[in-house]
A and B are shown apart, each in its own frame.
Chain A
Amino acid sequence: MTTPIQGLGGSVPILPVPPAGPTPAVGEAGGKGFKQILMDNLNEVNRLQREADQKVQALYRGDTNNVAEVFAAVNKAGVAFDLLMEIRNKMVEAYQEIQQMRV
């Protein structure tokens, strides 16, 4: 649909960008900020580690008999933790790179 060409600065006022509550760490692309993602992931990793711990305890207390599921939970927590560490490393690298930029 074509609109007739109009003069600039007429119908589309230029608004200042409103401050968006708690400042997102890096510019968001229509989703959560990195900080929020990091916090969510941290909580989830925590939850998975706790679950794995509980399953191991259940194994040793004799509540469960199934080793396969306990080991699966332990591995799951391990992979999640690894991923979190790697995200953190990459973020630190990115931050350092930005710091070294000549402005």
Chain B
Amino acid sequence: MFFENLINRGSLPALVSTAAFTEERHRMIAENVANIGVPGYKTRQLDVKAFQSALGRALDRRGSDPRNPFVLEGNRQVRTNERGELVVTPTKRPVENLLFHDGTNLSIERQMSDLAENAMMHELTNTLLRKKYDGLHKAIRGRS
């Protein structure tokens, strides 16, 4: 699998997974923000640290041989399905113990700051991906 090796090598699969993860997490945060003011609403979370450790494990398992598959598993929140796609399962377990008078634990401040941080991670990942693809194209053509 000549091209698979080319593409699976180094950080590229980790970058693609991170871009997919930040996209899913953005959708989840958008849903939280949409539910501001709904009494009793409990926010949903996707733990970034859990994702990063699953990513680390997947990289270790692949090792330096790009023919090994790159698969996220062993985690209740993120995993790679049979088609190689990322599947996320947000949890309702709260990050911090908040409870407002209307029964919700939604803090606009926390959500907006998560939103900004997640968006920055997504932009950064896309920029790195762009650089990688450009680098591959340049290497192929042998000239800029």
In the bound complex, CA of A57 to CA of B6 (Å): 25
CA of A44 to CA of B20 in the docked complex: distance in angstroms? 24
Query: What 8 pairs between A and B have smallest CB-CB spacing?
Result: A68-B19, A80-B3, A72-B16, A68-B20, A79-B136, A86-B140, A82-B140, A76-B7
Q: Which A residue's beta carbon lies closest to that of B133? A: A75
Select one of B3, B19, B24 contacting A45, CB under 8 A. Answer: B3
B24 to A, closest residue via Cβ? A66
Q: Whole-angstrom distance from the CB of B26 to the nearest CB of chain A?
A: 11
Cα(A65)–Cα(B31), bound, Å: 15
Contact in complex: A86, B141 (CB < 8 Å)? yes
Chain B interface SS verdict (over half): helix
Cα(A59)–Cα(B10), bound, Å: 27
Chain B interface residues toward A at CB < 8 A: 1-4, 6-7, 16, 19-20, 22-24, 27, 84-86, 129, 133, 136-137, 140-142
- The interface size bin for chain A is 20 to 34
Interface centre among A40, A45, A48, A68 (most CB of B within 10 A): A68
Q: Which has the most chain B C-beta neighbours within 10 Å: A48, A72, A86?
A: A72
B2 touches A79 (CB 8 A): no
Q: How far is the CA of A78 from the CA of B3 in the complex (A)?
A: 11
User: With the chains together, A40 CA to B136 CA distance in Å?
Assistant: 20
Task: Report whether A48 and B16 are in contact in the complex, using a CB–CB cutoff of 8 Å.
Answer: no
> With A69-B85, A79-B133 in contact, do A41 and B16 touch (Cβ < 8 Å)?
no
**Across-interface contacts of B23 in A (CB, < 8 A):** 66-68
A83-B6 in contact (CB<8A): yes
Q: Which of B3, B22, B86, B133 has the most CB of A within 10 A?
A: B3
Chain B minimum-CB-distance residue to A54: B83
CA distance A69 to B1 in the complex (A): 20
A54-67 CB mask vs B (1 if < 8 Å, else 0) is 00000000001111
Provide the residues of chain B in CB contact with A64, threshold 8 Å.
Answer: 85
Chain A to chain B contacts (Cβ below 8 Å), 25 pairs: A44-B2, A44-B3, A44-B4, A48-B3, A66-B23, A66-B86, A68-B16, A68-B22, A68-B23, A69-B84, A69-B85, A72-B16, A72-B19, A72-B129, A75-B129, A79-B3, A79-B6, A79-B7, A80-B3, A82-B136, A82-B137, A82-B141, A83-B3, A86-B141, A86-B142
